Structure 1
Amino acid sequence: MTSLCKNQAVLLLFLISSPLLHSHLFTHAASTSPPITRPRILFMTGLGSDDDYSDDYLDDHSSPPEVPSPVRIPVLNREARLCPYNPCLENQEPCANLAVQSGCLCPGLSGADQPPHAPRIQALLPISEGDDRGKVEVQWCAPSSVVSGYRVVVEGTDGDALEFGDALRRGSLTSLEVGTKVCVVAVNNAGHSSPSEFSCNRYDPPESSEHNVFAWVISGGVALLLLVVITSLILWKQNMCQRGKRDSTDGLGNPSYSTEGTL
């Protein structure tokens, strides 16, 4: 009986002291277990700005990671325009210089290591004034190539071709017969251009103003002569009709009149 009471007393004492034991064990477990950390969410509203990082991120790191800056694409605010370069005018400033000065665009050119394209003949005109009167002027336009000079070849001539500088667009030739073929050839260090249908032309001089005036004079004279002849015929016909009427009237007014004589 005494031992049973002792056992009950020990059990009661153990139950009373158990909350302290549980508290000690929980505290020990909490101190020995690793801390639980939760991942932090970073909100970024843009790239390349230091103000876009949250305060928590700056607390945990001494410096933010390097973010590549966005690539900037240049925007053309003005429309591209061609350079004021006319390949048919001579002694012009090179188009490459104009492009550097104003940022304009030049037409594409074949390189100096390639034979040039054929130029284009613009006109073959007779010269009527000045010291070269009686000669023929040939005019051409430059090709889209690097050119060091030009040659003008006349069909049927045994002499050397006439040579002109790269900045020139015209040259004078001796008097040509109608139908003579003339070709313009572009030259550079790589070679020369090949003749084409637009780099060659046959001389066909336009009619001069003197010829036109002479033709008008002849036409006017012929027209005036025809008018005089027609007017003369009309007047002669009218005169013949009036004479016939007058003769018939005189015969009816005189009864003794007869075409066979007097009665």
Structure 2
Amino acid sequence: MMSLCKNLVMGLLFLSTLSLLHSHLFTHAASTAPPVTRPRIIFMTGLGLDHDYDDDDYQDNPNTPPEVPSSIKTPHLHREPCQYNPCLENQEPCAHLSAQTGCLCPGLSGADAPPHAPRIQALLPVMEGDDRGKVEVQWCAPSSVVSRYRVVVEGSHGEVQEFGDTLRRGLVGSLEVGTKVCVEALNNAGQSDPSEFSCKRYDRPESSDRKVFVWVIGGGVALFLIVIIIVGVILWKHKMCQKGKRDSADGLGNPSYSTEGTL
């Protein structure tokens, strides 16, 4: 009995000693362990720049997103189309205008692709000067890279005329009414295909002398009709007045006489 009690006391002492030793070791390990660090949050801005924010700042106000510094905010650009007219010749290239003012140029097909077809504006005969009798061809540039233009006249047996890329007009010989004229755009990749707006048939406009003659004839005819109408109205009124006078004369007889004799 005494031996059993002695063994029980020794076991309790051993367990107490082991518990104290384990507690001491855990406290020492906790005091020597490195501090726990939170992961860093990295936000990507619209310009591709990184900016670091501490997790503590974000946890202080989780409902408000971190503020992006004003130095890296994307500016709002309001860009206007360039003042470039494809129908005017010898203009400064639109790319130069865009580089100078920041304006927007229309989209262009590259130099590695055949250009689009230009658009013919007019076929006008030259009425005076050394080039009198010739026809001036006017066109507008396409939305493509162009190195030169070519004017093809129907029935010219393969003879064509070429003009520089900055020009928008050119002279051809005299044309008969109905002759088809086409303008082609060319670059190193090829040439444009003919289209309904890059070709036009020549229709000689009326001269100013002929227009004046037509106006004179029309005015004379109109004046003649007006004179006839006025004369007709005058004659009709005169006839009505004569008729009224005769009717009044027939109605006023002598009251002293009658068809049955004297009074």
TM-score (structure 1 length as normaliser): 0.64
- Structure 1 residue 143, shift from structure 2 partner: 1.2
In the alignment, is the contact (CA less than 8 A) between 1:44 and 1:53 conserved in 2?
no
- Which of 11, 15, 25 aligns to 1:33? It is 25
Spell out, residue by residue over 1:143-173, the C-alpha distance to the aligned partner (whole angstroms, 9 max, x if none): 1222111111111222611111111001122
Change over 3 Å in CA distance of 1:82–1:25 after alignment to 2: same
Correspondence for 1:113: 112
Change over 3 Å in CA distance of 1:237–1:32 after alignment to 2: closer
Matched, 1:192 2:191: yes
The amino acid of 1:194's aligned partner reads D
**Partners in 2 of 1:236 and 1:209 — Cα distance?**
41
| Number of matched pairs | 225
**Partners in 2 of 1:237 and 1:50 — Cα distance?**
106
Correspondence for 1:103: 102
Correspondence for 1:163: 162
Where in structure 1 are there 5+ consecutive unaligned residues? 1-7, 9-13, 55-71, 254-263
Q: Secondary structure at the match of 2:186?
A: strand
- Structure 1 residue 52, shift from structure 2 partner: 6.4
Where does 1:221-240 land on structure 2 (aligned, <5 Å)?
Answer: 221-231=220-230
My pick for the range that moved more, 91-100 or 226-235, is 226-235
Change over 3 Å in CA distance of 1:180–1:41 after alignment to 2: same
- Fraction of identical pairs, as percent: 60
**Partners in 2 of 1:203 and 1:139 — Cα distance?**
12
Q: Secondary structure at the match of 1:33?
A: helix
Change over 3 Å in CA distance of 1:79–1:222 after alignment to 2: same
Where in structure 2 are there 5+ consecutive unaligned residues? 43-50, 58-70, 254-263
Correspondence for 1:68: none
The amino acid of 2:74's aligned partner reads V
Identify the structure with the greater strand proportion.
Answer: 2
- Structure 1 residue 116, shift from structure 2 partner: 1.5
Change over 3 Å in CA distance of 1:36–1:204 after alignment to 2: same
**Partners in 2 of 1:235 and 1:28 — Cα distance?**
144
Change over 3 Å in CA distance of 1:167–1:219 after alignment to 2: same
Correspondence for 2:122: 123
Correspondence for 2:91: 92
**Partners in 2 of 1:168 and 1:119 — Cα distance?**
12
Correspondence for 1:215: 214
The amino acid of 2:206's aligned partner reads E
TM-score (structure 2 length as normaliser): 0.64
**Partners in 2 of 1:198 and 1:163 — Cα distance?**
19
In the alignment, is the contact (CA less than 8 A) between 1:116 and 1:143 conserved in 2?
yes
Q: Secondary structure at the match of 1:222?
A: helix
In the alignment, is the contact (CA less than 8 A) between 2:40 and 2:53 conserved in 1?
no
